[in-house]
Structure 1
Amino acid sequence: MSDYTFITTEEHFLLQDALKKNKQQLIKFGLIGFAVTLVVATIPQVYLYTHNNMGDADDSMLSYKNLWFWIWLMSFVIALIFSLIKLTDIRYWAIKKDLTALQKATLQAPMEAVYIENNDSQTNIMLAQNQKKRLYYWMRGALDGYRAGQEVEITYARYSRVIISINKL
């Protein structure tokens, strides 16, 4: 692995594009959280107030007047959003840090695994280096022709490990 060097203007635009895609994913997850909140906050209220008298409904744990209902609901929605972020491996904050630091590195290593995720919009590559396995991210869709066991040379952003360029050796 070489020392970190500065990112060129073209590479900066590639990282900005990756940041834009990650931001769209975060917005989508926020909208999912809002929709879940709306549904989960509305359905119990309708059921409570149509099947019980007003006093019993107001005293229920599922009443909108109960503080614990809102704490539980917001905790659930926040956990849902963060689990979606973790499952889809959003790199938003690391890419923002890369756009501030503007550092990249180059390394040569054999690929341990190659897999595509996020509806074929991202390829993840695991490289074995110095008895460590690290995951690197190709954010420009499916990367065809690369298989486990091949030796590659990649240039990547320092913090997010987003691959800027990749070449077979």
Structure 2
Amino acid sequence: MSDYTFITTEENFLLQQALKRNKQQLRKFALIGFIVLLVAAIIPQIYLYTHNTLGDADDSLFSYKNAWFWVWMICFVIALVFALIKVTDIRYWALKKDLVALQKATLQAPMEAVYLENNDTQTNIMIKLDNQKKRLFYWMRGALEGYRAGQEVEITYARYSRVIIAINKK
């Protein structure tokens, strides 16, 4: 790896576009969490109040009147949203940090693996560094055609998010 240099204006716009897509993903996950919260909160109430007496239903742990029910539900939704973020590998916070630091680096190494993610809107590239560590880099502009594992590449990337700004075959 080389020393870090400053990101140009054009590269800054590329990172802002990636941040915008990541923000859309976060909003989508929050909406999914809210819908799951509604469904998981309403269906047990319907079942509880139709199959039990009013007093028994109000005393139940699954009653909407019980504070622990809402604590459990909100914790479940938060865990779901963060699980979706982890599974889809959203780079939102790292991209925000890159847009503040404005630093990039360049490296030249062979690709260990190349695979598509997020409905073919992102290409992830595993690079094996000189010290035998593997690092994951992210091409946020869709499918990256013509790149295969084993090829030597030169990558210019944002420092914190490891979002690829430019990639060239060697």
In the TM superposition, what is the alpha-carbon distance from 1:67 to its structure 2 partner? Answer: 1.2
Task: Provide, for residues 142-165 of structure 1, a one-character-per-residue CA deviation record: whole Å limited to 9, x for no partner.
Answer: 001000000000000000000000
Range with bigger deviation, 65-74 or 155-164: 65-74
Shift of 1:75: 1.1
Aligned to 1:131: 132
How many angstroms apart in 1 are the aligned matches of 2:132 and 2:46? 58
Where does residue 82 of structure 1 map in the other structure? 82
Higher mean alpha-carbon deviation, 50-59 vs 147-156, is at: 50-59
Unmatched 5+ residue regions in structure 1? none
Cα distance in 2, alignment partners of residues 19 and 56 from structure 1: 49
State the match for 1:67 in structure 2: 67
After superposition, the C-alpha distances for 1:96-141 in whole angstroms (9 at most, x for unaligned) are 0000000000000000000001000000000000210000000000
Q: Which runs of 4+ in 1 moved over 4 A?
A: none
Tell me how many residue pairs correspond in the alignment.
169
More deviation, 98-107/51-60? 51-60
2:153 maps to 152
Higher alpha-carbon deviation: 46-55 or 10-19: 46-55
Per-residue CA distance 1:27-82 (angstroms, 9 max, x = gap)? 00000000000000001111111221110000011000111111111111111000
Q: TM-score, normalised by structure 2?
A: 0.98
* Secondary structure, aligned partner of 2:146: coil
> Deviation digits for residues 5-39 of structure 1, max 9, x if unmatched?
00000000000000000000000000000000000
When structure 1 is superposed on structure 2, of 45-54 and 8-17 the one drifting more is 45-54
TM-score by length of 1: 0.99
Counterparts of 1:90-129 in structure 2 under 5 Å?
90-129=90-129
